[in-house]
């Protein structure tokens, strides 16, 4: 790791290094590496973009928190200031991590902030743009460098493992608005009258890591909201980026790691100015600070982990003739997708009727008399109804749901959103290059798999 672009957080304690880890104690280490592209390249998130990036508002980061329980089980949370990450990039990165430090796949959680002012990544949202060979070459080179930086950052976090205390609690922030139910232009008026509609998840989950002397060394926090305040051509982590900057300023030497919740149908409103991004970042950071000052639940001495992919079915697949018509049609996004899918048929003989959907469940077992924390990570752009439902079914206040995790392959609607259709329910699939929308059973199948994995966490 280059010293000018990365920093390692070493847990300096007031105790000698031979202090034993007693029951309820953990070892933890954190590290961070800047992943800001060093030359102009295409940005992700908005299909309306018509040129490469034009400078940096603030750096983008890869951050990693490694934790080890009393039994020696290790896990690492990786957060990325990116719009998303593809299945192939995630798999390659996890293989590199395994070769470096031996971590198995279930022990690695990769979470994206979903900033729309980050770079394009290979095999993610690939039908959104028709790029030149030169631009695609830049994306490929950046992606290979990113994979190496993630693996090195994780290795650095593990190298920094030192005795620590873990605790968790939930705060609240209210700037996310259900974009399917509230016209953007009317949001200020509707908010003022208390008439905003639609499901939301305003919880701000917070995991604190402190040295045995009580100093904050790492903060993991999340929020269910799109990172779409900004739409210009400068690199920035959007409102989650501003929140992380503020928290790290408030706690010198600490690493602040953000994960996006189930915010696929949630927007930060109003938006479009740097001032709004800073305002929401401050609100989010203030919520985290309030949690850190309050009473938090101590994590006991044990971590359990599960990770599985299962075949999530699509709705009716397009035929070869359907794709040929799309290829010759006026919709440029459908034409690009059709070109990809026809090439897949040529290679494989058919389109797959399913997608290998990732579900991950960690359980941070509570101290004696305390609650266990169930932490779920779901792939894709997950709509907020999943979070609302899973928290209700698995325990309000002690269930976290991370979206945009491990593989951001498409929008993932609840059955209600699927029935309503629209962008999140069906239309957005074209930008991800998937053949059609999910089958109507999408919600039940995912929730069933989550319950399955939770039931194995003993």
Residues 231-262: tens digit of each pLDDT: 999 999 999 999 999 999 999 999 999 999 99
pLDDT confidence tier of residue 370, bands split at 50, 70 and 90: confident
**Residue 457 confidence (pLDDT):** 66
172 is written with which tokens? Answer: 């609240």
Residue 17 CA, distance from chain mean position: 34
Q: What is the pLDDT of residue 427?
A: 96
Give the integer Cα–Cα distance in Å for 408 and 11.
33
Model confidence at 404: pLDDT above 70: yes
Q: What is the pLDDT of residue 25?
A: 81
pLDDT band at 449 (very low <50, low <70, confident <90, very high): very high
Long-range contacts of 330-339 (CB under 8 A, 24+ apart): 331/430, 332/130, 333/47, 333/127, 333/128, 333/430, 333/431, 334/430, 336/127, 336/130, 336/433, 337/127, 337/430, 337/433, 337/434, 337/435
Contact 227, 239 (CB under 8 A): yes
Q: To which residue do tokens 């968790």 refer?
A: 168
Q: Is the pLDDT of residue 15 over 70?
A: no
Mean pLDDT of the chain: 93
* pLDDT mean over 385-412: 98
Does pLDDT of 3 surpass 60?
no
| Average pLDDT rounded to a whole number, residues 327-348 | 96
| Each residue's pLDDT tens digit, 87-139 | 999 999 999 999 999 999 999 999 999 999 999 999 999 899 999 999 999 99
Give the E-state strand segments of 265-330 in sequence order.
266-268, 297-313
Structure tokens at 310: 């299962």
At residue 65 the predicted structure's pLDDT band, cuts being 50, 70 and 90, is very high
pLDDT digits (tens, 9 = 90+) for 279-328: 999 999 999 999 999 999 999 989 999 999 999 999 999 999 999 999 99
Within 10-151, strands assigned E span 26-34, 61-68, 74-80, 108-112
Domain boundary assignment for the chain: 6-309+359-424, 318-352
Contact (CB, 8 A) for 165 and 67: no
The set of residues, in sequence order, having a beta carbon less than 8 Å from that of 445 and lying 6+ positions away, is: 310, 312, 313
Q: What is the mean pLDDT of residues 16-39?
A: 73
Q: Considering the entire predicted model, what is its pTM?
A: 0.93
Please check whether residue 157 is in contact with residue 77, taking contact to mean a CB–CB distance below 8 angstroms: no
Residue 63 phi/psi, 5-degree rounding, is: -130, 150
- pLDDT, residue 240, reads 98
The pLDDT value given to residue 456: 77
Arithmetic mean of pLDDT, 415-422: 97
pLDDT for 458 equals: 60
Say whether pLDDT at 68 is over 60. Answer: yes
Q: Is the pLDDT of residue 12 over 50?
A: no
Per-residue pLDDT, averaged over 160-189, amounts to 97
Tally of CB atoms within 10 A around 4: 7
Mean pLDDT of 332-353: 97
């Amino acid at each position: 790791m280059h010293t000018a672009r990365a920093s390692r957080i070493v847990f300096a304690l007031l105790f000698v290094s031979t202090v034993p880890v007693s029951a309820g104690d953990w070892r933890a280490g954190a590290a961070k590496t800047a992943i800001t592209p060093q030359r102009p390249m295409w940005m992700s998130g908005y299909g309306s973009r018509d040129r490469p990036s034009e400078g940096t508002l603030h750096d983008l980061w890869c951050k990693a928190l490694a934790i080890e329980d009393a039994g020696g089980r290790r896990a690492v949370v990786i957060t990325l200031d990116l719009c998303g990450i593809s299945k192939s990039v995630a798999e390659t990165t996890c293989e590199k991590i395994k070769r470096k430090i031996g971590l198995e796949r279930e022990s690695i959680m990769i979470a994206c902030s979903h900033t729309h002012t980050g770079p394009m990544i290979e095999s993610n949202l690939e039908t959104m743009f028709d790029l030149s060979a030169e631009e695609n070459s830049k994306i490929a080179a950046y992606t290979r460098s990113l994979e190496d930086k993630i693996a090195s950052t994780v290795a650095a976090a593990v190298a920094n493992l030192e005795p620590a205390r873990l605790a968790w609690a939930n705060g609240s922030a209210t700037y996310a608005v259900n974009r399917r139910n509230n016209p953007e232009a009317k949001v200020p008026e509707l908010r003022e009258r208390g008439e905003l509609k639609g499901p939301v998840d305003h919880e701000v989950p917070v995991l604190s890591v402190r040295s045995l002397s009580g100093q904050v060394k790492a903060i993991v926090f999340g929020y269910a909201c799109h990172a779409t305040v900004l739409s210009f051509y400068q690199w920035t982590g959007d409102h989650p980026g501003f929140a992380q900057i503020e928290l790290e300023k408030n706690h010198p030497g600490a690493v602040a790691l953000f994960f996006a919740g189930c915010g696929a149908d949630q927007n930060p409103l109003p938006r479009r100015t740097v001032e709004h991004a800073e305002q929401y970042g401050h609100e989010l950071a203030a919520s985290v600070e309030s949690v850190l000052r309050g009473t938090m639940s101590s994590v006991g001495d044990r971590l359990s982990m599960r990770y599985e992919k299962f075949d999530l079915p699509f709705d009716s697949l397009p035929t070869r003739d359907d794709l040929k018509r799309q290829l010759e049609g006026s919709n440029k996004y459908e034409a690009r997708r059709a070109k990809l899918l026809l090439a897949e048929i040529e290679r494989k003989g058919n389109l797959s009727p399913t997608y290998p959907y990732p579900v991950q469940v960690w359980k941070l077992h509570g101290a004696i008399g305390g609650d266990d924390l169930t932490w779920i990570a779901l792939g894709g752009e997950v709509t907020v109804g999943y979070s609302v439902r899973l928290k209700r079914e698995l325990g309000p206040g002690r269930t976290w749901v991370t979206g945009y995790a491990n593989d951001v392959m498409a929008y993932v609607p609840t059955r209600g959103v699927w029935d309503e259709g629209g962008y999140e329910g069906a239309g957005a699939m074209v930008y991800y290059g998937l053949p059609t929308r999910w089958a109507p059973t999408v919600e039940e199948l995912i929730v069933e798999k989550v319950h399955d994995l939770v039931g194995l966490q003993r």
